[in-house]
């Protein structure tokens, strides 16, 4: 009778040991921030980045399930958005470098990242590092900066958004949708810095052809500028060949005379457009992320007519932001 009781006690001990072994087997994940770096909205280009996830699983010394299936779920609605206040920058997170397989979750009926680990021959712990990929969508020119400075946008994932499930097995990995192990979070952040930038182009100003300069001649042209949304900028015009913003001249091609002229910010020709020195002013505005046009008003005043010929000057327009 006592012998039978001894076997029962031994069986109970084995069951208890197996239960403790199963409880000791756990998996966890650590993940890096995914940083897109500097993003220029007016370039219209998509921006890529990548991060990494390190999955670690532990076994007991003796295990009847030497393999572990780990499922990394990202439960967030697409498209994802990094924000700064009420401003948003859209992007996506993917499982592959081609950005073709979105990182999803079983909760949403999409595909999580899955990792399979095997118990090592020596030791009780194994880890594996996998990459994930991000892509900021192209053509988001209206994304603004704040305070005329580079502006950080970010999105933090935590709690039910980042869920790790795992299951140990002997033969054949279970599907992620069937794993019921209590979820573990692996929080991380996506971040990008939106920078100020401007693109500028100008058209020639042509005063046409005349015989005498006995009366003034007016002409206009335009400067096109595209600056990051909410970025304050200014456009300066230099003095050309005269190096004097308050007394510009067009030299005769081949030499032998000049024609005086001036450039203005207004149609009334009351505010000379220069670099802010010698009584001149600069064009100032705030970027919208779209092309903006600044009109240049030119005037050749009445003056003594120089020798016939072609007269021209080269002006450099500079945008500062």
| CATH number for 119 | 2.60.40
How far does CA 2 lie from the centroid of its chain?
A: 75
Same domain for 290 and 250: yes
Phi, psi of 202 (to 5 degrees): -140, 155
* pLDDT value of position 19: 41
DSSP conformation class of 102? B
pLDDT in tens, 232-251: 999 999 999 999 999 999 99
In a domain, 243, yes or no: yes
* pLDDT value of position 3: 43
Same domain for 185 and 68: yes
Same domain for 73 and 154: yes
pLDDT in tens, 83-114: 999 999 999 999 999 999 999 999 999 999 99
Strand order across the beta sheet in which 258-264 lies: 198-202, 217-227, 291-300, 258-264, 248-251
* pLDDT value of position 182: 80
In a domain, 253, yes or no: yes
Is residue 61 a contact partner of residue 25, using CB atoms and an 8 Å limit? no
* pLDDT value of position 191: 98
| CATH number for 227 | 2.60.40.1090
* pLDDT value of position 17: 40
**Overall number of domains in the chain:** 2
**pTM (2 d.p.):** 0.86
Q: Which domain holds residue 43?
A: 26-194
Same domain for 168 and 42: yes
- Based on C-alpha coordinates, what's the Rg of the chain? 35
**Helix, strand or coil for residue 239?**
coil
Candidates 306, 300, 273; CA nearest to 218 is 300
Exposed/middle/buried for residue 264 (C-beta within 10 Å: 0-12, 13-18, 19+)? buried
Domain closes at, from 138, 164, 194: 194
Which residue stretches of the chain have pLDDT < 70? 1-23
Task: Give whole-number Cα distances, 289 to 36, 140, 149, in Å.
Answer: 20, 9, 15
Count of beta carbons in the 10 Å neighbourhood of residue 270 = 9
């Amino acid at each position: 009778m006592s012998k039978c009781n001894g076997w029962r006690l031994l069986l109970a001990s084995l069951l208890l040991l197996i239960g403790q072994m199963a409880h000791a087997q756990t998996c966890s994940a650590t993940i890096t921030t995914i940083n897109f770096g500097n993003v220029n909205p007016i370039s219209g280009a998509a921006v890529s980045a990548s991060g990494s996830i390190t999955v670690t699983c532990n076994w007991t010394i003796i295990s009847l399930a030497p393999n572990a299936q780990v499922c990394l779920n990202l439960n967030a609605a697409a498209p994802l958005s990094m924000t700064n206040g009420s401003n948003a920058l859209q992007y996506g997170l993917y499982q592959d470098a081609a950005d073709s397989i979105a990182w999803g979750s079983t909760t949403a009926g999409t595909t999580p990242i899955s990792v399979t680990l095997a118990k090592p021959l020596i030791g009780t712990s194994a880890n594996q590092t996998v990459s994930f990929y991000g892509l900021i969508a192209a053509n988001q020119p209206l994304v603004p900066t704040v305070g005329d400075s580079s502006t950080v946008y970010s999105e933090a994932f935590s709690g039910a958004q980042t869920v790790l499930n795992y299951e140990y097995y002997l033969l054949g990995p279970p599907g992620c949708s069937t794993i019921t192990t209590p979820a573990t979070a692996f929080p991380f952040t996506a971040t990008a810095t939106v920078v100020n930038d401007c693109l500028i182009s100008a058209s020639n100003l042509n005063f046409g052809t005349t015989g005498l300069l006995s009366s003034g001649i007016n002409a206009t042209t335009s400067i096109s500028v595209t600056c990051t949304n909410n970025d304050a900028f200014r456009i300066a015009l230099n003095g050309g060949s005269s190096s004097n913003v308050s007394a510009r001249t067009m030299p005769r091609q081949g030499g032998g005379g000049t024609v005086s002229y001036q450039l203005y910010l207004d149609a009334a020709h009351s505010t000379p457009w220069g670099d802010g020195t010698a009584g001149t002013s600069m064009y100032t505005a705030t970027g919208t992320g779209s092309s903006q046009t600044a009109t240049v008003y030119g005037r050749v005043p009445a003056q003594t007519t120089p020798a016939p010929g072609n007269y021209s000057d080269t002006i450099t327009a500079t945008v500062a932001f």
